[in-house]
Amino acid sequence: MSRFVICYFFIGLLFSAKMNAEVFKVALLAPEGTNWAKSLKALNKEIEAQTHGEISFKFYYGGSQGDELDVLRKIRIGQLHGGIFTGKTLGDINGDVRVMEIPFNFMNNREKALSTLNNLAPFLSQGLGKAGFLNLGFFEIGLVYFISKNVVSDLNSLKGLKIWSWEGDPLVAAMIDSLHLVSVPLALPDVLSSLSTGVVEAAYGPAVGIMALQWNTKIKYLLDFPISYSVGAFLLNAKTTAKISPANLVILKKLAAKHVLNINAANIIDDKEALTAMKAAGIEFIRFNKKDIEQGLKVREQVINVLKNKVISPKAIELLQSELKRK
Protein backbone atom coordinates (compact mmCIF):
# COMPACT_ATOMS: atom_id res chain seq x y z
CA MET A 1 0.00 0.00 0.00
CA SER A 2 1.52 3.34 -1.05
CA ARG A 3 2.13 6.17 1.39
CA PHE A 4 -0.54 8.23 -0.39
CA VAL A 5 -3.15 5.50 0.10
CA ILE A 6 -2.21 5.15 3.77
CA CYS A 7 -2.41 8.92 4.19
CA TYR A 8 -5.86 9.09 2.63
CA PHE A 9 -6.97 6.10 4.70
CA PHE A 10 -6.12 7.86 7.99
CA ILE A 11 -7.59 11.15 6.79
CA GLY A 12 -10.78 9.23 6.06
CA LEU A 13 -10.80 7.75 9.56
CA LEU A 14 -10.30 11.15 11.16
CA PHE A 15 -13.01 12.71 9.01
CA SER A 16 -15.38 9.87 9.88
CA ALA A 17 -14.69 10.30 13.62
CA LYS A 18 -15.45 14.02 13.36
CA MET A 19 -18.68 13.32 11.47
CA ASN A 20 -19.78 10.88 14.19
CA ALA A 21 -18.65 13.02 17.15
CA GLU A 22 -21.22 13.94 19.78
CA VAL A 23 -20.57 17.40 21.20
CA PHE A 24 -22.55 18.01 24.36
CA LYS A 25 -23.28 21.62 25.25
CA VAL A 26 -23.34 22.00 29.04
CA ALA A 27 -23.88 25.20 31.04
CA LEU A 28 -23.03 26.05 34.65
CA LEU A 29 -22.86 29.07 36.94
CA ALA A 30 -19.27 28.50 38.11
CA PRO A 31 -16.90 30.90 36.31
CA GLU A 32 -13.72 30.22 34.37
CA GLY A 33 -10.61 29.77 36.48
CA THR A 34 -12.35 27.91 39.31
CA ASN A 35 -11.55 24.36 40.35
CA TRP A 36 -14.85 23.38 38.76
CA ALA A 37 -13.77 24.73 35.40
CA LYS A 38 -10.30 23.18 35.62
CA SER A 39 -11.70 19.75 36.48
CA LEU A 40 -14.33 19.89 33.75
CA LYS A 41 -11.72 20.81 31.15
CA ALA A 42 -9.59 17.89 32.30
CA LEU A 43 -12.65 15.64 32.06
CA ASN A 44 -13.29 16.76 28.50
CA LYS A 45 -9.68 16.17 27.49
CA GLU A 46 -9.74 12.61 28.82
CA ILE A 47 -13.09 11.78 27.25
CA GLU A 48 -12.00 13.03 23.86
CA ALA A 49 -8.84 10.94 24.10
CA GLN A 50 -10.46 7.72 25.33
CA THR A 51 -13.41 7.85 22.91
CA HIS A 52 -11.15 8.86 20.00
CA GLY A 53 -13.02 12.12 19.55
CA GLU A 54 -16.46 10.53 19.45
CA ILE A 55 -17.56 12.39 22.61
CA SER A 56 -16.72 15.97 23.47
CA PHE A 57 -18.09 18.67 25.74
CA LYS A 58 -18.50 22.38 25.19
CA PHE A 59 -18.89 24.04 28.58
CA TYR A 60 -20.50 27.45 29.07
CA TYR A 61 -19.21 28.97 32.31
CA GLY A 62 -20.23 31.82 34.56
CA GLY A 63 -23.94 31.88 33.80
CA SER A 64 -23.33 32.87 30.18
CA GLN A 65 -26.39 30.80 29.21
CA GLY A 66 -28.52 32.40 31.94
CA ASP A 67 -29.47 31.19 35.39
CA GLU A 68 -30.26 27.56 36.16
CA LEU A 69 -33.92 27.83 35.13
CA ASP A 70 -32.84 29.33 31.78
CA VAL A 71 -30.44 26.42 31.28
CA LEU A 72 -33.13 23.87 32.13
CA ARG A 73 -35.52 25.50 29.68
CA LYS A 74 -32.86 25.47 26.95
CA ILE A 75 -32.21 21.78 27.56
CA ARG A 76 -35.90 21.01 27.21
CA ILE A 77 -36.11 22.80 23.85
CA GLY A 78 -32.86 21.28 22.59
CA GLN A 79 -30.55 24.32 22.66
CA LEU A 80 -28.38 22.72 25.35
CA HIS A 81 -27.71 19.10 26.28
CA GLY A 82 -26.97 19.39 29.98
CA GLY A 83 -26.12 21.50 32.97
CA ILE A 84 -24.67 21.49 36.43
CA PHE A 85 -27.56 22.30 38.73
CA THR A 86 -28.01 23.03 42.41
CA GLY A 87 -30.79 22.31 44.92
CA LYS A 88 -33.81 24.29 43.77
CA THR A 89 -33.47 23.39 40.10
CA LEU A 90 -32.71 19.76 40.92
CA GLY A 91 -35.89 19.84 43.01
CA ASP A 92 -37.83 21.17 40.03
CA ILE A 93 -36.66 18.10 38.12
CA ASN A 94 -37.10 15.60 40.96
CA GLY A 95 -38.22 16.85 44.37
CA ASP A 96 -36.62 13.96 46.25
CA VAL A 97 -33.16 15.50 45.78
CA ARG A 98 -34.22 18.23 48.22
CA VAL A 99 -34.24 15.66 51.02
CA MET A 100 -30.51 16.35 51.34
CA GLU A 101 -31.13 20.06 51.93
CA ILE A 102 -33.77 19.86 54.66
CA PRO A 103 -32.65 22.37 57.32
CA PHE A 104 -30.64 21.06 60.26
CA ASN A 105 -30.25 17.53 58.89
CA PHE A 106 -26.54 17.46 59.61
CA MET A 107 -25.76 20.56 61.71
CA ASN A 108 -21.98 21.04 61.21
CA ASN A 109 -21.20 17.40 60.36
CA ARG A 110 -20.07 17.67 56.75
CA GLU A 111 -18.63 14.14 56.71
CA LYS A 112 -22.02 12.71 57.69
CA ALA A 113 -23.70 14.80 55.02
CA LEU A 114 -21.37 13.55 52.29
CA SER A 115 -21.71 9.90 53.31
CA THR A 116 -25.50 10.30 53.30
CA LEU A 117 -25.38 11.85 49.83
CA ASN A 118 -23.25 8.98 48.54
CA ASN A 119 -25.57 6.36 50.04
CA LEU A 120 -28.73 8.01 48.69
CA ALA A 121 -27.21 8.72 45.27
CA PRO A 122 -28.52 5.55 43.52
CA PHE A 123 -32.10 6.25 44.66
CA LEU A 124 -31.93 9.95 43.77
CA SER A 125 -30.27 9.26 40.40
CA GLN A 126 -33.04 6.81 39.59
CA GLY A 127 -35.59 9.57 40.17
CA LEU A 128 -33.64 11.95 37.95
CA GLY A 129 -33.52 9.23 35.30
CA LYS A 130 -37.32 8.91 35.37
CA ALA A 131 -37.46 12.66 34.80
CA GLY A 132 -35.38 12.29 31.63
CA PHE A 133 -31.82 12.94 32.82
CA LEU A 134 -28.65 10.93 33.19
CA ASN A 135 -26.86 11.96 36.39
CA LEU A 136 -23.10 11.89 35.93
CA GLY A 137 -22.52 12.62 39.59
CA PHE A 138 -23.55 14.54 42.68
CA PHE A 139 -21.42 17.38 44.00
CA GLU A 140 -21.30 18.58 47.54
CA ILE A 141 -21.31 22.35 47.41
CA GLY A 142 -21.02 22.71 51.16
CA LEU A 143 -22.65 23.62 54.43
CA VAL A 144 -25.01 26.57 54.19
CA TYR A 145 -24.73 29.55 56.55
CA PHE A 146 -26.88 32.54 57.42
CA ILE A 147 -25.08 35.84 56.89
CA SER A 148 -26.37 39.15 58.18
CA LYS A 149 -25.77 42.89 58.24
CA ASN A 150 -27.30 43.03 61.73
CA VAL A 151 -26.06 41.35 64.87
CA VAL A 152 -27.98 38.26 65.95
CA SER A 153 -27.36 36.19 69.04
CA ASP A 154 -29.59 33.15 68.54
CA LEU A 155 -32.30 31.71 66.30
CA ASN A 156 -35.02 33.74 68.01
CA SER A 157 -33.24 37.00 67.20
CA LEU A 158 -33.61 36.18 63.49
CA LYS A 159 -37.35 36.85 63.70
CA GLY A 160 -38.43 39.77 61.56
CA LEU A 161 -35.12 39.89 59.69
CA LYS A 162 -35.53 40.66 55.99
CA ILE A 163 -33.85 37.72 54.28
CA TRP A 164 -33.33 36.98 50.63
CA SER A 165 -35.08 33.88 49.38
CA TRP A 166 -34.75 32.15 46.04
CA GLU A 167 -38.06 32.86 44.39
CA GLY A 168 -40.29 29.80 44.06
CA ASP A 169 -38.25 27.58 46.37
CA PRO A 170 -40.71 25.60 48.53
CA LEU A 171 -38.03 24.29 50.89
CA VAL A 172 -36.67 27.74 51.69
CA ALA A 173 -40.21 29.10 52.02
CA ALA A 174 -41.02 26.40 54.60
CA MET A 175 -37.84 27.14 56.55
CA ILE A 176 -38.44 30.90 56.53
CA ASP A 177 -42.00 30.39 57.75
CA SER A 178 -40.81 28.10 60.55
CA LEU A 179 -38.20 30.65 61.69
CA HIS A 180 -40.63 33.60 61.30
CA LEU A 181 -38.34 35.51 58.98
CA VAL A 182 -39.42 38.14 56.45
CA SER A 183 -38.93 36.68 52.98
CA VAL A 184 -37.68 38.93 50.18
CA PRO A 185 -37.77 36.88 46.95
CA LEU A 186 -35.12 38.02 44.49
CA ALA A 187 -33.17 36.72 41.52
CA LEU A 188 -29.65 35.66 42.52
CA PRO A 189 -27.87 38.53 40.67
CA ASP A 190 -29.96 41.10 42.59
CA VAL A 191 -28.89 40.00 46.08
CA LEU A 192 -25.60 41.92 46.20
CA SER A 193 -27.15 45.31 45.41
CA SER A 194 -30.09 44.57 47.73
CA LEU A 195 -27.69 43.93 50.61
CA SER A 196 -26.06 47.27 49.81
CA THR A 197 -29.32 49.23 49.85
CA GLY A 198 -30.92 47.41 52.78
CA VAL A 199 -33.69 45.83 50.74
CA VAL A 200 -32.48 42.64 52.40
CA GLU A 201 -30.58 42.40 55.68
CA ALA A 202 -29.54 38.76 55.45
CA ALA A 203 -28.95 35.93 53.02
CA TYR A 204 -27.75 32.33 53.07
CA GLY A 205 -25.33 30.21 51.12
CA PRO A 206 -22.23 28.01 51.21
CA ALA A 207 -19.02 29.80 52.08
CA VAL A 208 -17.60 29.51 48.56
CA GLY A 209 -20.79 30.94 47.08
CA ILE A 210 -20.84 33.85 49.55
CA MET A 211 -17.31 34.79 48.51
CA ALA A 212 -17.84 34.22 44.78
CA LEU A 213 -20.94 36.44 44.77
CA GLN A 214 -19.14 39.06 46.91
CA TRP A 215 -21.86 39.06 49.55
CA ASN A 216 -19.08 38.98 52.14
CA THR A 217 -18.36 42.64 51.30
CA LYS A 218 -21.82 43.70 52.45
CA ILE A 219 -22.32 41.75 55.68
CA LYS A 220 -20.82 41.83 59.18
CA TYR A 221 -21.92 38.55 60.74
CA LEU A 222 -21.90 34.87 59.86
CA LEU A 223 -23.95 32.49 61.99
CA ASP A 224 -21.54 29.66 62.66
CA PHE A 225 -24.39 27.17 62.89
CA PRO A 226 -24.97 25.60 59.44
CA ILE A 227 -28.63 25.54 58.51
CA SER A 228 -28.38 23.17 55.57
CA TYR A 229 -26.16 21.27 53.15
CA SER A 230 -26.07 22.30 49.52
CA VAL A 231 -25.71 19.76 46.71
CA GLY A 232 -25.41 19.86 42.95
CA ALA A 233 -25.46 17.39 40.07
CA PHE A 234 -24.07 17.07 36.55
CA LEU A 235 -27.04 16.18 34.36
CA LEU A 236 -27.31 15.30 30.68
CA ASN A 237 -30.55 14.98 28.76
CA ALA A 238 -31.23 11.23 28.50
CA LYS A 239 -32.46 11.58 24.89
CA THR A 240 -29.05 12.94 23.95
CA THR A 241 -27.05 10.29 25.80
CA ALA A 242 -29.12 7.58 24.13
CA LYS A 243 -27.04 8.30 21.02
CA ILE A 244 -23.83 7.23 22.76
CA SER A 245 -22.54 3.72 22.15
CA PRO A 246 -22.58 1.38 25.18
CA ALA A 247 -18.77 1.27 25.25
CA ASN A 248 -18.43 5.05 25.19
CA LEU A 249 -21.16 5.41 27.82
CA VAL A 250 -19.11 3.24 30.18
CA ILE A 251 -16.08 5.48 29.57
CA LEU A 252 -18.13 8.62 30.11
CA LYS A 253 -19.58 7.44 33.43
CA LYS A 254 -16.21 6.21 34.69
CA LEU A 255 -14.37 9.45 33.89
CA ALA A 256 -17.21 11.63 35.19
CA ALA A 257 -17.15 9.76 38.52
CA LYS A 258 -13.39 10.33 38.77
CA HIS A 259 -13.61 14.06 38.16
CA VAL A 260 -16.64 14.53 40.42
CA LEU A 261 -14.48 13.16 43.24
CA ASN A 262 -11.76 15.65 42.32
CA ILE A 263 -14.23 18.54 42.34
CA ASN A 264 -15.66 17.48 45.70
CA ALA A 265 -12.18 17.29 47.22
CA ALA A 266 -11.35 20.74 45.86
CA ASN A 267 -14.68 22.14 47.11
CA ILE A 268 -13.87 21.10 50.68
CA ILE A 269 -10.55 22.96 50.53
CA ASP A 270 -12.13 26.02 48.87
CA ASP A 271 -14.87 26.08 51.50
CA LYS A 272 -12.40 26.12 54.40
CA GLU A 273 -10.34 28.81 52.73
CA ALA A 274 -13.44 30.95 52.16
CA LEU A 275 -14.40 30.75 55.84
CA THR A 276 -10.85 31.63 56.87
CA ALA A 277 -10.81 34.60 54.49
CA MET A 278 -14.12 35.96 55.82
CA LYS A 279 -12.93 35.68 59.41
CA ALA A 280 -9.65 37.41 58.52
CA ALA A 281 -11.63 40.23 56.85
CA GLY A 282 -13.34 40.99 60.15
CA ILE A 283 -16.66 39.21 59.71
CA GLU A 284 -17.78 38.07 63.16
CA PHE A 285 -18.62 34.39 63.52
CA ILE A 286 -21.48 33.86 65.98
CA ARG A 287 -21.83 30.50 67.70
CA PHE A 288 -25.21 29.29 68.93
CA ASN A 289 -25.97 27.39 72.10
CA LYS A 290 -27.55 24.00 72.79
CA LYS A 291 -31.08 25.44 72.92
CA ASP A 292 -30.70 26.63 69.34
CA ILE A 293 -29.72 23.13 68.26
CA GLU A 294 -32.89 21.79 69.86
CA GLN A 295 -34.95 24.50 68.16
CA GLY A 296 -33.28 23.70 64.86
CA LEU A 297 -34.43 20.09 65.15
CA LYS A 298 -38.00 21.32 65.69
CA VAL A 299 -37.74 23.49 62.60
CA ARG A 300 -36.50 20.45 60.70
CA GLU A 301 -39.60 18.45 61.64
CA GLN A 302 -41.88 21.34 60.66
CA VAL A 303 -40.24 21.61 57.25
CA ILE A 304 -40.54 17.85 56.70
CA ASN A 305 -44.25 17.99 57.55
CA VAL A 306 -44.77 20.78 55.01
CA LEU A 307 -42.82 19.12 52.18
CA LYS A 308 -43.73 15.45 52.67
CA ASN A 309 -45.96 14.15 49.85
CA LYS A 310 -45.86 17.56 48.18
CA VAL A 311 -42.21 18.03 47.23
CA ILE A 312 -40.41 15.06 48.77
CA SER A 313 -41.71 11.49 48.75
CA PRO A 314 -42.19 9.50 51.97
CA LYS A 315 -39.66 6.97 50.60
CA ALA A 316 -36.94 9.63 50.33
CA ILE A 317 -37.61 10.82 53.87
CA GLU A 318 -37.55 7.23 55.13
CA LEU A 319 -34.16 6.65 53.51
CA LEU A 320 -32.82 9.90 54.96
CA GLN A 321 -34.00 9.07 58.47
CA SER A 322 -32.36 5.65 58.21
CA GLU A 323 -29.05 7.24 57.19
CA LEU A 324 -29.19 9.75 60.03
CA LYS A 325 -29.51 6.91 62.53
CA ARG A 326 -26.31 5.31 61.27
CA LYS A 327 -23.22 5.95 63.37
> How much of the chain is helix, strand and coil, in % rounded to 5?
55, 20, 25
pLDDT in tens, 17-74: 444 678 999 999 888 888 888 999 999 999 999 999 999 999 999 889 998 999 999 9
CB atoms closer than 10 angstroms to residue 197? 8
**CA atoms of 28 and 93, how far apart (whole Å):** 16
Measured in degrees and rounded to the nearest 5, phi and psi for residue 102 equal -55, 130
**CA atoms of 240 and 213, how far apart (whole Å):** 32
Mean pLDDT over 293-303 rounds to 90
Q: What is the per-residue pLDDT for 73?
A: 96
Q: What is the per-residue pLDDT for 20?
A: 60
What's the number of domains the chain is made of? 1
Q: State the sign of the Cα–Cα–Cα–Cα dihedral 212, 168, 295, 104.
A: negative
Task: Yes or no: say if 319 and 313 are a contact pair by the CB < 8 Å rule.
Answer: no
Domain with residue 288: its CATH number is: 3.40.190.170
What is the domain range of residue 101? 3-325
Model pTM above 0.85: yes
Best-predicted range by mean pLDDT among 178-182, 222-226, 265-269, 315-319? 315-319
**CA atoms of 234 and 305, how far apart (whole Å):** 29
The DSSP bridge pattern shows strands 221-223 and 133-148 to be antiparallel
| Residue 308 β-bridge partners | 312
Crossing angle of the two packed helices 170-179 and 290-307, in degrees rounded to 10: 140
